[in-house]
A and B are shown apart, each in its own frame.
Chain A
């Protein structure tokens, strides 16, 4: 049953908050929907910020909504307002001496970049890659040499963007390979070669110890060398924004994200959470993990928005997948990577003229896949990972002609 004339307040103007608002609006035309955010921009995608930094796209593509769109959807957008507290018993959101009553509250506070606790981490010239302000800051700052700390997707895309802007780029990674969360050693090595071909210096197994400089960044000191640079980008990971949630007593999981059930409800009634600030169940290990990805946030927002209006919807965990383009080569990864020390993992590697792929097996079930070059078939693995199909059960020729499964048939050529 849908109850009309509800007051729904959404904290956060990212994709999760907006998809929650849009979904709620589609179901309930009468509800009073308000988005409160300390952001001063309409909805934009942080995923395309590296392209914006490289100058490949402009404001029109970066921003997914205009202020008129909020009006058209009849969603109040209170921008530039930081929520200071939530009165859970009175059901009231408090911000800047104001209070706003809610019937349902959605926390979509997102995440923030991890600032390494090292000396000099607040010097001018130290940037992160998360908001439009960050990118504008880098664009206005100038400089010739850039050091990027961390080689996740953000770090790699940032490196490519800065290279395209004409910087001399260094990439520093603490672990033994780049993109350690998404690729195994052999694949990571190939990606490193792609970057090195374009003159990006990749330093793995190196710890950043401090940043030196007086009133602006001069150099970065690692345990192996000193690199003189003008710009430092910290891309060593993201952490959920949970300060507000903690303050009002919303339960936080062990991974540091807000704990929610499959209806995206928190432990406090009528408060939902979605997007980068929540932890989600890992479909492969059945544990909880942080999947701070655009697609996850979009889907969780839809679930939270739908449940707010009274239309029950369950969230089924997605399989994390990332993909990007490094200069001319596409790379993609789905599922998890193999742990080198664990014997229950096995890799199936294949290589061609313009591609290489690796399929990760755990106890002979498919748990992940990585591809460089041709990536258009990687999505096929999502159904195999979800169904936990054993590789020995996977014989296409045993299927009868009448029950052909296009997904399995195509996969035959990938394994």
Chain B
């Protein structure tokens, strides 16, 4: 059963404990820049957005790596980097559609989530359960439900405004991307 880290921005308080736990676990120091997980704070919207590697099944970073240093962990399904082979060219960083990878300028190595061998520290330290480590299928169901709810709400709102076609289209775009 493959598990993924699921982020729920509406529960995140932006406390930054996950970043500290991640950095401490991997690099033995509490540094935000060395953390694999990053919280983006959108102050004007009041949103905190935790983000880390999604471990895509058709991962673009694996494809572009010229030394094939990015491999898939057979146990956790995580995409992990073999630091002995990595040459620090940052091709994976430029290929990542989420911008989820960062770079350690001192050691010249790529920094990416490795799911902590199946027991992620960020999940353990998250006080509000904004970060959860869940079965991939369950995560899919809950996401589909929330997307569906947004979609129906958008349609209802649009019908109220008597401008159905246009809003339906734009709301579909919103939930898809």
Interface residues of A (CB under 8 A from B): 45, 47-48, 51, 56-57, 61, 64, 294-295, 298-299, 321-325, 328, 330, 332, 334, 375-380, 382-383, 387, 396-397, 399-410, 412
Contact = CB atoms under 8 A, between A and B. Distances in A.
Contacts of B10: 401-402
Contacts of A378: 93-94, 99
A404 B146 contact: no
B66 interface: yes
A402 B154 CA distance: 12
B1 interface: no
A226 to B, nearest CB: 36
Interface stretch (B13-21, B37-45, B126-134): B37-45
Nearest to A376: B93
B94 A383 contact: no
B90 interface: yes
30 contacts: A45-B68, A47-B89, A47-B91, A48-B87, A57-B87, A61-B67, A294-B64, A294-B91, A295-B60, A298-B63, A299-B63, A321-B95, A324-B89, A332-B90, A375-B93, A376-B90, A376-B99, A378-B93, A378-B99, A379-B98, A380-B97, A382-B95, A383-B177, A399-B174, A402-B146, A404-B49, A406-B40, A407-B97, A407-B98, A412-B42
Contacts of B42: 396, 409, 412
**Highest count of chain B CB atoms <10 Å: which of A295, A298, A408, A409:** A295
Contact of B103 (A299, A322, A376): A376
Contacts, number: 122
Contacts of A412: 42
A299 B88 CA distance: 22
Contact of B177 (A328, A377, A405): A405
Contacts of A47: 66, 89, 91
B63 to A, nearest CB: 5
Nearest to B88: A325
Given A47-B66, A295-B63, A397 B95 contact: no
A409 B47 contact: yes
A406 B98 contact: yes
B138 to A, nearest CB: 19
B47 A380 contact: no
B79 interface: no
A403 B97 contact: no
A396 B49 CA distance: 13
A324 B88 CA distance: 9
A238 B72 CA distance: 33
A48 B40 contact: no
Interface in B59-112: 60, 63-64, 66-68, 85, 87-91, 93-99, 101-103, 105
Given A406-B40, A412-B42, A380 B94 contact: no
Interface residues of B, number: 38
B83 to A, nearest CB: 12
Nearest to B82: A61
Nearest to A328: B105
B51 interface: yes
Contact of B87 (A56, A64, A383, A400): A56
A332 B87 contact: no
B175 interface: yes
Contacts of A61: 67, 85, 87
Contacts of B177: 383, 387, 405, 407-408
A310 B20 CA distance: 49
Given A48-B89, A383-B177, A409-B40, 14 more contacts: A47-B66, A61-B87, A64-B67, A323-B94, A334-B94, A376-B93, A379-B95, A379-B96, A379-B97, A380-B98, A382-B95, A402-B10, A410-B51, A412-B42
Nearest to A324: B89
B94 A332 contact: yes
Contacts of A396: 42, 45
A375 B68 contact: no
**Highest count of chain B CB atoms <10 Å: which of A324, A332, A397, A402:** A402
B150 interface: yes
B25 interface: no
A325 B85 contact: no
Contacts of A377: 99
B45 A375 contact: no
Contacts of A323: 89-91, 93-94
B79 to A, nearest CB: 14
B85 to A, nearest CB: 5
A179 to B, nearest CB: 14
B66 A294 contact: yes
Nearest to B54: A406
Contacts of B146: 402
A334 B91 CA distance: 11
A387 B177 CA distance: 10
A52 B176 CA distance: 43
A50 B103 CA distance: 21
A378 B90 CA distance: 11
